[in-house]
Amino acid sequence: MDFVLSGVSACCACLFTNPLEVVKTRMQLQGEMMTPGSYKIHYRNVLHAFYTIGKVDGLAGLQKGLVPALNYQLVMNGVRLGSYAILETGGYIHSGGRVSPVKSVAAGAVAGVLGAIIGSPMYLVKTHLQSQSTASIAVGHQYQHQVFPLNSWLVSLSAGMISSVFVVLGMTPFDVISTRLYNQPIDSRGKGLLYSGFISCFSQTIRKEGIFGLYKGIGASYFRLGPHTILSLLFWNELRKVYYKDRQLASRPR
C-alpha cells in the first residue's frame, strides 16, 4: 500500500508543479545545438517563460503533458518512496537500533534509480508533449503527437535512461541531457539525428553552447524541486496517517 500512497501523493504535488516542469523543458530545449547569440530567445527567465507560454498557448499550455506527468509521478515516486518505506519498515536502514545515515542514503539512491528506470517511458511522452507549442515560440523538435515505431521508442528510452537516473539526484546538467535525448528527432531506422547517446549529447552541448548550456532551465528546475518535494511529503504523510488510522479502527474489536 505504501507504493500507492507514495505515488498518489506525488501526483497531488504534480498538479501544482507541472507548469514549472513545462517551463523547465522549454528553457532546456531553447537554443539547442546553437551558439549563444545566434538564436531568438523566447524565454528569458522563469517568470518571462510563464508569461509567454500563458499568453501564446493559453493557460492550458502551462499544463501540457499533465497526464503522462501524473503517470510518471505515480510510477516513479510510487516505486521510489514505496521502496524506501519497505526498506525502512524492514529495518534495513538501521544500525544498532538507530537510523544509519550511510544506509539511509544508500537506500534512497537505490530506490530513486529504480523509480527513474521504471518511469522512463512516461518521462519520454511527457517531454514530447511539454515541448509542443505554437510555432512562434517553439523550441526543440516538435513531435506533434506523432506515433513513431517501437524501435525509435526503445532507442529514445535507452539513450535518455542513463541521464534520467541522475535526474532523481537533482543534478541539472543530467536533467538537460535527459530532456534533449528524449526529445531529439529519430530517423526511420530508430537512430537519433542529433545525438548518438549520453556522451554525444554532453560533449556536443558544451562544444556548441558552452558549459552554461548544461544549466539551462536551472531556475525553473529548482523552483519546482522545492515545492514538489515538500508537497509530496506533506500529502504522503497525511495519506499514511489517514490510511493507518482507518486500519487501526477497522482492527478494533466491536
**Backbone phi and psi for residue 95, each to the nearest 5 degrees, phi listed first:** -145, 120
Compute the 3-state secondary structure of the chain and give helix, strand, coil in percent, each to the nearest 5.
Answer: 70, 0, 25
CATH of domain 2-143+217-245: 1.50.40.10
pTM of the full predicted structure? 0.83
At 187, which amino acid appears?
Answer: D
Domain borders along the chain are 2-143+217-245
Q: Give me the count of residues in the chain.
A: 254
Distance from chain centroid for Cα 59: 21
What residue type is 107 in one-letter code?
Answer: A
- The answer to whether the beta carbons of residues 76 and 119 sit under 8 Å apart is yes
Q: How confident is the prediction along the chain (254 residues), in pLDDT tens digits per residue?
A: 767 887 888 899 999 999 999 999 999 999 999 999 999 999 999 999 999 999 999 999 999 999 999 999 888 877 777 777 777 777 778 777 787 888 887 887 778 778 777 888 888 889 999 999 999 999 999 987 655 555 555 655 565 566 555 555 556 788 898 899 889 888 777 788 898 888 899 999 999 999 999 999 999 988 898 899 899 889 988 888 888 776 665 555 55
